[in-house]
Structure 1
Amino acid sequence: MDDALPRKNGREHSARHPPRNRRSHQGRRKKRATELQEAGKWPHLWRIVGQYSNISIIDVESNDELHALLSSLPLFPFMTIQVTPLAKHPSSIV
């Protein structure tokens, strides 16, 4: 997932995201990520070194649940998300 807040001249676009709101966005993002991790829905979250993006493992029962979870993220409108469904490997011992 990549976050791409709108920017103008190297700063956040003032009409939608004034600079004073950056901390608010970060706080809401962290709060929601913590809620989902504590609920067991977001068991793995890694930062990609050198980028403002991450790789995550999200544990849901359906595509609809995944969409609801992703769209509940505060920065969802500004995110580029690539979804790769995973299945347990038959040789996995965990």
Structure 2
Amino acid sequence: MEDFFKEEAVLVDSFDRRLRRIEDDGASILVMLQNRNSAPQSRELAYGLREVTEITGLSRSTLDKLFKEGKLHASKSGRRTLILRAELERYLQDMAE
């Protein structure tokens, strides 16, 4: 029985380390996004999906999952899917907290 608890403790520690890495990555992405948008002339109001994947490093399938889960909201302009800058910043800020 003691071995079971040791194995569980190892799994919890591993999960905790991974969670901390994800939180650190989210904070880094937020800083990167804020630095990228610091120049007033380069502050777009919205980004296309390709731009969001380049800015954040998130894959297209991850973005689709976030849309489906309601964690990130997109808008349509004709056939183009756009993510408002404020929405992307909100999501990244929530992820960093």
Larger Rg: 2
Given the two structures, how large is their TM-score scaled by the length of structure 2?
0.37
- Structure with a larger share of its residues in strand: 1
